[in-house]
Each structure stands twice: as C-alpha cells, then as structure tokens.
Amino acid sequence: MTIIIGIGVTLACMLGGFAAMGGHVEVIWQPWEYVIILGTSLGTFIVANSTKVIKDCGKGIVEAFKYSAPTHRHYVEILALMFSLMRAVRSKSRAEMEALIDAPAGSEIFGKAPTVLADKDLTVFICDYMRLLIMGNARSHEIESLMEEEIETVRHDRLKAYHALTVVGDGLPAIGIIAAVLGVTKAMGAISESPEVLGKLIAAALVGTFAGIFFSYAIVAPIATKMKSVREKKIRLYVVVKQSLLAFMNGAIPQVAIEHGRKTIPSAERPGIDEVEAETMGGGAAPAANAA
C-alpha cells in the first residue's frame, strides 16, 4: 500500500509542478517512447537472468507491494514453536521426535504456529537442525558454522531478485537516452518542417531521457529497496531459530534459550518478554506436563 501511495504522491507532485510552471502535461504522454524504454529493459532483464530468478522477481515485487514482512505475530509464534520443540526434546523419546519432525504439518506443535508452517523453507530449516540435535553427538560450534553458512546461502538466493531488479534500474537512464536519440533521429528527418512541428518532435524525444531517469529512481529503485527490506526481515526468522537452538545446545533451559532468539529481533518489532512467556507457557503446556 505504501508503494502505491508513494507513487501517487510522486506523480501528483511531478505532473502538478510541471503544469504549474506552464507546461503541457499531454506532451509527456509519448507511448512509443515508453515502449522502447520499458520493452528494452524487459528484454535485457530476460537475457541476464534465469527463469527461476525472473519468476522470483515477480514474486518479490508482489511481496513488496503487500509488504509481506514478518509481523509481530510471526515472531511470537516462532519463539513459542522453538520453546515447544525444545521442551519436547526433553520429554519425548527419539522415535517420537523423529516422527514429529518428519511430518511437521501433522504435528500438534507445528499446528500451533501456522505462520511458520506456511513458510516451507523455514519449516525445513527448523526440522533439519532439530534432527541433528536429537542425534545427540552434534557439537554446537559445528552446528553454528553450518547454520551460518546455510543462512548466508538463503540470503544470497533470496536477494538474487533484488540484485536483478537493481541492475534494471541502473540501466534505465541509459536506455532512456537511447529512446531520446531515436526520437531526435526522427526529428532530424523532419528538419524541413515548421518550427512548431519540429519543436513537438524534439520535445517528444526528450521525454525518453525524462522517462528513463524517472522509472529508474522513482519506480524501480524504491520497489527493489522495499523488496530487499521484506526479504531481509524474513531471513531474520532463521537467525531467531539459530540463536535459540545454539543456546539450548550449550545448556540453556528452553525459557532462556528463546530469550537468546528474542534478542535478535529488531527492537521495533520485538515482542515483550511477558507476552512471549504467556505464549510459550500456553504453547508448551503439553510437553511441560509430560516432563513433569
């Protein structure tokens, strides 16, 4: 929503200011200049990227418009889930835990964290490291190194779309110059026409330069930045899991272990300790009863 509002404000100020200066707004409407600029940008984007990245870029743009970043509820649920899993490790047998993490969608523990379960990659990440944990011979420093490497790989993959879109944005001003040159070439072909006709053709050509810069800095770059922000925040969930599990492996009790994870959440979005405690006590009630 903020993207739409921002673009609306940008267009209103730009077109309104141009009209207030005495400019004719209709001159800016040069559809074939836009076809040249946007079509060329799309073509180079397709040439430079794989099908997977192209599809992911479309998905990322949708995420940016919806601002599908983790909410307060996402953080509360993942902390409650990690608490329940760590309590379950202490109260259930290895066979029971293996059955739980082999089919998370059918487990009661994961069922209480629907926002986590909806993210298949994050769910797999949690289950993989819980599996290493219950094997019993994993060393915390080795697991930490492995987690960091995987999180870095996830970050690299998730930001490919951002980098691809940024490259398009960086190239738009130059493509706008190409459109302008083509427009000037057309104008030179009509050099014998009246100054009025020639002026309109030159003005239409200059719209190409304007459009290239405008699309780059006012449309593509902000959307790419918003995409990066959303995906970086989604990756933060992996860090919460990492810190919680490492603290647990190093001997912390579940309540303290999830506090390690909670502290990695940005302060503006971090749930309060009382709220997390209330949620974990409810989410971990069944394992706690078994442990008693």
Q: What is the tens place of the pLDDT at every residue in 74-113?
A: 999 999 999 999 999 988 888 888 888 889 988 889 998 9
The mean predicted confidence, pLDDT, of the chain is 89
Residue 185: pLDDT band by 50, 70, 90 thresholds?
confident
Share of the chain above pLDDT 90, in %: 59
Burial classification of residue 118, based on how many CB atoms lie within 10 Å of its CB (0-12 exposed, 13-18 middle, 19 or more buried): exposed
Please report the pLDDT score of residue 282 as a whole number.
Answer: 59
User: What is the rounded distance in angstroms from the CA atom of residue 124 to the CA atom of residue 120?
Assistant: 6
Please report the pLDDT score of residue 232 as a whole number.
Answer: 95
- Give the residue carrying structure tokens 């014998």: 192
The residue with greater pLDDT, 135 or 14, is 14
What amino acid occupies position 202? Answer: I
User: What is the rounded distance in angstroms from the CA atom of residue 56 to the CA atom of residue 275?
Assistant: 35
Cβ neighbours, 10 Å, residue 289: 10
Under 8 Å CB-to-CB from 202, ≥6 apart: which residues?
Answer: 183, 184, 187
User: What is the rounded distance in angstroms from the CA atom of residue 222 to the CA atom of residue 217?
Assistant: 7
What's the predicted TM-score (pTM) here?
0.84
The answer to whether the Cα torsion of 153, 158, 161, 167 is positive or negative is negative
Q: Where are the alpha helices (DSSP H) in the chain?
A: 2-20, 31-48, 51-66, 72-91, 94-102, 108-111, 114-117, 120-135, 140-158, 160-188, 195-214, 221-249, 254-262, 273-283, 285-291
Q: What is the tens place of the pLDDT at every residue in 203-225?
A: 888 898 999 999 999 999 999 99
User: What is the rounded distance in angstroms from the CA atom of residue 238 to the CA atom of residue 249?
Assistant: 16
- Domain residue extents for the chain: 30-292
Please report the pLDDT score of residue 169 as a whole number.
Answer: 95
Q: What is the tens place of the pLDDT at every residue in 246-292?
A: 999 999 999 999 999 999 998 888 988 888 888 877 544 333 333 33
